[in-house]
């Protein structure tokens, strides 16, 4: 792996910050000393630091509380930087290197969702191994001296299949997700309690000497709460009280929940959160999702957010009173197996994050943000010292300063020799023009859309728009390919049911989300009168399906006739039939279950409405209630041709150039379901 590549890429700006730190110490400024002392108290690792993170306490046990200004770690306010890193989106072998790179980049906290469908694949059957070994992950975080922000949910969204809900949940009679519904609340409470109990048993909460300092119940529920009316309000309040009753001893948060109860911290998720304030003066300002990139869809462009804009957003957040900010994502990773959400979201979750999908530092973003974090930490003593609002100075029509200090600062004069703790942020929110501003007896040049950070209210340690532009690191993919595992589990989920059934069954009711593929096959008898009718009219019959999602392929007598892609869109496909019996096969493909929105349990997959053969001599034929043969999965899944050691015996055939482009891709299916 490329962990050894990190140190040479710190950049000249990091050296400049180190030099500034030395200058501040020589000048007698107390800010660095105060910061170093706080870190020493909080990072006392007292347990074994093995590769598995096992053994004993990791910290001297400490309490976590909060006031209106910040989260309090061991009774002391902290300005915290958090790195989003979802443990199942990397192999467990990658975790130590990834966590170390988050720490090297300036993170204090690792944030992750907890993924219900990964941990409870079948009702009452729990899984905490390999990529889902949450305990091991938490201990590795602690072994690096970092804290953990656990977003239990258990709804995640996260561009994760079905938003993290297990598919078996939708089969419970009378269930409605995320509302005042007893069957759902019972299952949710059981799972959340399971996670909390496990964390307590493993002594992973802060008061036990563990790393967990924050946890989240629900997720962006405020976005959809209105769809459920008063039942939604009751559910939100129930979720909050259920979480509090678990007595975890640390704060709970709800993101994007403006009506969160007083005991729960409401937080911000957005590209910019510098204007966000919680719904109570008693709560600190927390940014749970700083979208430093975005996910990608099949066929879409790869989103990009510049390092400069991301740094600007973060600096503005702390400038205007923020106290904890979490990058979503700091490492995005990979949607292994069939975990990608949908519809049509790709298996890469690279997210344009500071650490790329393969665990390699993305320069210049990683280095630029690292320098930002160093500057913010230099300001921490001043930031936590101000109990109310900082001094605000208007410097121009689109320029402003916020000054944090232990005393009143006369901003017109020089700060030289001033013994008090003082840090300042100078912002130019004009997107196009440079600005020159006068403050502290000096002139400062501010690039467009930038923040300059002055840890001592005099020297500029960092400007968000000034990026040295470190080169992009090229990496040999062979170095990391051994860590990328595909996982597919296929079984005959039809169980004791006959394979031939009357009617069109709903896709998920048959597959139980074991495979993305479900074959439907029936037979149609065509008379000589039909053939004569089509010949005389110069037309072809058509197969129509009222609605499909996400992909439908139509095969006639073993040959691909056509396809349709979309989210509950109609299909109308002309087909070529012969006299006598014709085999009509439909292949339904899911490209990630819906992961966001209200009423997820009602979305489903496959086909809806009528399946009709139109244009026959005697009129249309409704095939919906015909006898259909069902088969789950593909031949390639059963034979595991995705495994490197199996690819040599996969029996690939050369494509013919005469095949139309839109059909080439489909021939990989060989036109037949497995065991048809």
Task: Just list the catalytic residues.
Answer: 220, 289
DSSP 3-28: GGGSGGGS-HHHHHHHHHHHHHHHTT
d(CA 117, CA 119): 6
614, containing H or E segment = strand 606-614
The predicted structure's pLDDT at residue 419: 63
Spatial neighbors of 99 by CB under 8 A, at least 6 apart, are 85, 110, 140, 141, 144, 146
Can you tell me whether residue 241 is helix, strand or coil? helix
Query: Within a 10 A sphere around the Cβ of 582, how many other Cβ atoms?
Result: 17
d(CA 491, CA 481): 27
The predicted structure's pLDDT at residue 413: 81
Q: How many residues does the chain have?
A: 676
Q: What are phi and psi of 223, to 5 degrees?
A: -65, -30
**Edge-to-edge strand ranges of the sheet holding 64-66:** 64-66, 71-73, 76-78
Can you tell me whether residue 615 is helix, strand or coil? coil
Nearest to 470 by CA among 369, 362, 363: 363
In the DSSP assignment, the letter for residue 62 is -
Break the chain down into helix, strand, coil percent, rounded to 5.
30, 25, 45
627, containing H or E segment = strand 627-632
Domains annotated for the chain, with CATH where assigned, are: 59-358 (3.20.20.80), 391-463 (no CATH), 485-655+666-674 (2.60.120.260)
Q: What are the residue ranges in the chain where pLDDT is below 50?
A: 1-16, 18, 21-51, 53-54, 469-498, 659, 661-676
Tokens 């499909």 — which residue? 548
Please give the structure tokens belonging to residue 617: 């001599």
Query: Within a 10 A sphere around the Cβ of 446, how many other Cβ atoms?
Result: 25
The answer to whether residues 265 and 277 touch, using CB atoms and an 8 Å cutoff, is no
Q: What is the pTM of this model?
A: 0.86
d(CA 365, CA 97): 18
Q: Partners of 402 in the beta sheet?
A: 392, 425
Pinpoint the alpha helices (H) of 451-546: 507-511, 528-537
Can you tell me whether residue 442 is helix, strand or coil? strand
Number of C-alpha atoms within 13 angstroms, CB side, residue 615? 20
Sign (positive or negative) of CA dihedral 399, 276, 31, 25 = negative
């Amino acid at each position: 792996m490329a962990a050894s590549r990190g140190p040479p890429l710190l950049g000249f700006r990091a050296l400049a910050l180190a030099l500034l730190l030395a200058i501040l110490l020589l000048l007698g400024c107390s800010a660095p000393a105060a910061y170093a002392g706080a870190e020493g108290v909080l990072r006392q690792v007292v347990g074994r630091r093995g590769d598995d993170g096992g053994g004993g306490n990791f910290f001297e046990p400490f309490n976590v509380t909060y006031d209106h200004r910040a989260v309090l770690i061991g009774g002391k306010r902290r300005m915290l930087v958090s790195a989003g890193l979802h443990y199942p989106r990397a192999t467990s072998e990658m975790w130590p290197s990834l966590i170390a790179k988050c720490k090297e980049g300036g993170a204090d906290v690792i944030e992750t969702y907890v993924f219900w469908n990964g941990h409870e694949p079948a009702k009452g059957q729990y899984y905490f191994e390999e990529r889902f070994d949450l305990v091991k992950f938490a201990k590795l975080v602690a072994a690096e001296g970092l804290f953990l922000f656990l977003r239990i949910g258990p709804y995640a969204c996260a561009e994760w299949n079905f938003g993290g809900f297990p598919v078996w949940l939708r089969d419970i009679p009378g269930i409605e997700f995320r509302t005042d519904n007893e069957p759902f609340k019972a299952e949710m409470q059981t799972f959340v309690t399971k996670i909390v109990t496990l964390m307590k048993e493993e002594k992973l909460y802060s008061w036990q000497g563990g790393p967990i300092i924050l946890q989240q119940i629900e997720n962006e529920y405020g976005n959809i709460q209105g769809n459920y009316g008063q039942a939604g309000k009751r559910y939100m309040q129930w979720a909050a009280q259920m979480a509090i009753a678990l007595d975890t001893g640390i704060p709970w948060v709800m993101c994007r929940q403006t009506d969160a109860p007083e005991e729960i911290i409401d937080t911000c998720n957005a590209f910019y959160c510098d204007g966000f304030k919680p719904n109570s003066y008693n709560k600190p300002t927390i940014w749970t999702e700083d979208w430093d990139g975005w996910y990608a869809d099949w066929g879409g462009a790869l989103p990009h957010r510049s390092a400069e804009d991301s740094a600007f957003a973060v600096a503005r957040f702390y400038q205007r009173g923020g106290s904890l900010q979490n990058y979503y994502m700091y490492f995005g990773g990979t949607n292994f197996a069939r975990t990608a959400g949908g519809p049509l979201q790709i298996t890469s979750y690279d997210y344009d994050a500071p650490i790329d999908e393969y665990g390699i530092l993305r320069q210049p973003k990683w280095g630029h943000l690292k320098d930002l974090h160093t500057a913010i930490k230099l300001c921490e003593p001043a930031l936590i010292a101000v109990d109310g609002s900082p001094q605000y100075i208007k410097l121009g029509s689109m320029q402003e300063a916020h000054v944090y200090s232990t005393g009143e600062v006369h901003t017109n004069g020089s700060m030289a020799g001033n013994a008090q703790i003082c840090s300042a942020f100078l912002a130019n929110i004009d997107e196009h023009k440079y600005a020159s501003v006068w403050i502290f007896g000096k002139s400062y040049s501010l690039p467009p859309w930038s923040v300059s950070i002055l840890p001592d209210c005099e020297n500029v340690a960092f400007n968000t728009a000034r990026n040295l532009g470190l080169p992009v690191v090229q990496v040999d993919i062979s170095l990391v390919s051994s860590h990328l595992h595909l996982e597919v589990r296929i079984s005959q989920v039809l169980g004791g049911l006959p394979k031939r059934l009357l009617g069109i069954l709903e896709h998920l009711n048959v597959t139980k989300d074991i495979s993305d593929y479900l074959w439907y096959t029936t037979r149609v008898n065509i008379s000589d009168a039909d053939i004569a009718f089509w010949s005389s009219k110069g037309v072809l019959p058509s197969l129509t399906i009222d609605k499909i999602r996400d992909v439908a392929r139509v095969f006639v007598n073993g040959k691909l006739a056509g396809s349709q892609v979309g989210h509950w869109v109609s299909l109308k496909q002309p087909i070529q039939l012969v006299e006598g019996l014709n085999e009509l096969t439909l292949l339904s493909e899911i490209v990630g279950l819906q992961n966001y929105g209200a009423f997820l349990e009602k979305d489903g997959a496959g086909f809806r409405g009528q399946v009709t053969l139109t244009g026959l001599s005697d009129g249309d034929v409704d095939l919906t209630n015909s006898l259909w043969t069902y088969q789950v999965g593909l031949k390639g899944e059963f034979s595991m041709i995705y495994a490197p050691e199996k690819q040599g015996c996969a029996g690939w055939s050369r494509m013919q150039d005469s095949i139309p482009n839109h059909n080439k891709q489909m021939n990989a299916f060989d036109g037949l379901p497995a065991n048809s």
